[in-house]
Amino acid sequence: MDKSDNNPPQTAEQMLRAAVQDPRDLTRYLTYLNTIKSEGLSTSVMVVPLDAAINWARASSIWPLTFGLACCAIEMMAVGASRFDLDRFGAGAFRPTPRQADLMIVAGTVTYKMMPRVKRLYEQMPEPKFVMAMGACTVGGGPYCKFGYHVVKGIDRFIPVDVYVPGCPPRPEALIDALLALQRKIATGRPIIERYAKPAGGGKDGGAQ
């Protein structure tokens, strides 16, 4: 690990520059770390692009909101329980209050009566926040779409959704897959660069995270 000689010969400085250019690529700065270690520069100092560090921290400790609406909530509970164990992905700490949560899994049918509350909960969550629409009902009304006079036909009309998980209800594996997708999405964010360094031309690809 230390003496990785199959890498292209680069000085430590070159590597750092390369790593800063693209904070999405964690491997680059890991290589850099290895190099400075092998060169005996320091073993206690880590130099990491801030974006990458933040993304890594965000993606590995997503705290979902304890928020079940209907049938899908039972599958969400099952994902958190013994067999599937969402904690393996760092997302097992279900918070009872939106103020401590990063992720809202909208699990179940949203009705007209419930919709303002869902929106309120979303607004109470601190930034950065992510939403997962779990189940056919939340995605688009599901089986209640046609005759459901009291069912919201898709929660994405009211709050922004990051990941859609179709199914009635989705399998736990689908929810885990959605979580991994969300982690990938978080890893592509550039929170610091977007906030402080105005890119030339003003073009931005990311959302509001």
Partner 1 sequence: MIHKEAQSSEPILHDSLQSEELLVNMGPQHPSTHGVLRLVVRTDGEMVRETVPYIGYLHRCFEKITESVTYAQGVPYTDRLDYLASMNNALAFCLGVEKLGGFAVPERAAWLRVIVAELNRIASHLISFGTYALDLGAFTPFLYGFREREAILSIFEKLSGGRLLYHYPRIGGVRADLTPEVAGDIRRFLVQMRKAWPEYNELLSENAIFVKRTANVGVISGARAIAYGLTGPCLRGSGVRFDLRKNKPYSAYERFDFSVPVGAGIKGAVGDCWDRYWVRMVEIMESCKIVEQALDGLPKGEIRGKTPRVLKLPKGQVYVPCENPRGELGFYIISDGKTEPLRCKARGPSFCNLSITSEVCRDVLIADVVAILGSIDIVLGEVDR
Partner 2 sequence: MTMETIHALLRERFGEAIGEWPPPETGDPWIGVKAEAYHDVARFLRDDPALKFDYLRLVSAVDWMGSSGAESAERLSSVLHLYSFARDHEVTIAVDLPRDAARLASVADLWPAANWHEREAYDMMGIVYEGHPDLRRILLPEDWEGHPLRKDYVQPEEYHGIPNV
Residues that bind partner 2 (CB under 8 A): 112-113, 115-116, 149-150, 152-153, 157-158
- Residue by residue, DSSP assigns 77-141 as HHHHSTTT-GGGGT----BSSGGG-SEEEEESPPBTTTHHHHHHHHHHSPSS-EEEEESHHHHH-
CB neighbours of 21 closer than 8 A, spacing ≥ 6? none
End-to-end C-alpha distance for the chain, whole angstroms: 35
Nearer Cβ to partner 2, position 41 or 112? 112
The binder of 69, among partner 1, partner 2, none, by C-beta within 5 to 8 A per type, is: partner 1
**One-letter identity of residue 131:** V
Residue 112 CB, nearest distance to partner 2 (Å)? Answer: 5
Q: Which is nearer to partner 1, 122 or 164 (CB)?
A: 122
Task: List residues binding partner 1 (CB under 8 A).
Answer: 65-71, 73-75, 77-78, 81-83, 96, 98, 108-109, 111, 113-114, 117, 121, 143-144, 146-151, 168-169, 171-172
Nearer to partner 2, 3 or 113 (CB): 113
